[in-house]
Amino acid sequence: MKNKTAKADIYTRITNQIVADLETGVLPWVKPWHSDHAMDRITRPLRHNGEPYSGINILSLWSSASAQGFTSPSWMTFKQAQELKASVRKGEKGSLVVYANKFTRTEENENGEDVERAIPFLKGYTVFNVEQIDGLPERFYAKPEPRFDTVQRIGHAEAFFKDTGADIRHGGNRAFYAIHPNYVQMPLFEAFRDSESYYATLAHECTHWTRHPSRLDRDFGRKKHGDEGYAKEELVAELGAAFLCADLEITLEARDDHASYIASWLKVLKDDTRAIFHAAAHAQRAVDFLHSLQKAKKEAA
């Protein structure tokens, strides 16, 4: 009972954190902070060893960074800071991240036979941003140089979306994914106010592209525009675009239609405290799938 209560509390705490942001009109996955460390670019939160966080932990730490004004993407536990001969400043408040996995347990079935059963578990733990820690090696505080000029087409982003193999068409004044003819429609590159807006929009639509039955076959029971299934898919596309833009070092900015979606997202999250976890997991799978296409392309070359 204690473990179930603790697990439910983790779902509730993180969901409430995201809901609180949305209720104030803040999307924690859209420019969550002005990161001097990344030259004003969004990046995934990083563990102490430089490995990026995934899924719900990205949203939780982006939200925490925004609320507390942190500019560094790097986080670590109290113990990890100690191992680096550093110390968390007195009075600093930690941020919640979760670890999900499964363990196997042998049980007896109705026939009296021993069977292995996989038991999922969720564990929460506390991390601190490096700006809350004194005495870390200088590499944790270093600020990298910008990597590319944002007013031009971004070469590595162009290559990434090309290597997905998606049918991406250009023209008109709308961006959307048409599932039955199975193509992504985008306005011309020149129609966007800057290059990053173009690639961020393309990331959103390509996340939708992964829902096709021949790919991830993602279906939330959507029947019409604006229903709960539609809201869930849009939330997945939003998070997928945010994760992917972080990987490609592209700034994700608020779209004009965000305001109209916030109310539907809030309803979904308030009705189910696990919804944001599920959306983040689906978004992570979509991004992982798009990355896997890059590897397949290179192996085939």
pLDDT of 110-138, one tens digit each? 777 777 777 777 889 999 999 999 999 99
User: 170-193: b or e for each residue (b if 16 or more CB lie within 10 Å)?
Assistant: eeeeebebeeeeebbbbeeeeebe
- Token pair, residue 202, equals 């393309």
For 185, the enclosing helix (H) or strand (E) is strand 183-186
Q: Please check the confidence at residue 1 and state whether its pLDDT lies above 70.
A: no
Per-residue model confidence (pLDDT) at position 260: 65
Residue spans of the domains in the chain: they are: 1-145, 148-301
- Which one-letter amino acid corresponds to residue 272? D
DSSP state of 191: G
Tell me if 38 sits within 8 A of 73, measured CB to CB. yes
In the sheet that holds 176-178, the strands lie side by side as: 168-170, 183-186, 176-178
Per-residue model confidence (pLDDT) at position 114: 75
Burial of 103 (0-12, 13-18, 19+ CB in 10 A): exposed
Match 């944002």 to its residue by tokens.
150
Q: Among 260, 278, 255, 147, which residue's Cα sits nearest to residue 203?
A: 255
Q: Among 164, 149, 200, 208, which residue's Cα sits nearest to residue 184?
A: 208
- Percent of the chain at pLDDT exceeding 70: 86
Q: Average pLDDT in the 142-165 region?
A: 77
Per-residue model confidence (pLDDT) at position 92: 95
- Determine the Cα–Cα distance for residues 32 and 40; give it in Å rounded to an integer: 10
Per-residue model confidence (pLDDT) at position 298: 74
Q: Among 186, 201, 301, 183, which residue's Cα sits nearest to residue 241?
A: 201
Per-residue model confidence (pLDDT) at position 97: 94
User: Residue 37's pLDDT band (boundaries 50, 70, 90)?
Assistant: very low
Q: Among 279, 240, 251, 277, which residue's Cα sits nearest to residue 96?
A: 277
pLDDT of 193-222, one tens digit each? 888 889 999 999 999 999 999 999 999 988
Lowest mean pLDDT among 130-134, 175-179, 188-192: 188-192
Q: Please check the confidence at residue 4 and state whether its pLDDT lies above 70.
A: no
Q: Among 24, 17, 8, which residue's Cα sits nearest to residue 269?
A: 17
3-state secondary structure of 165: coil
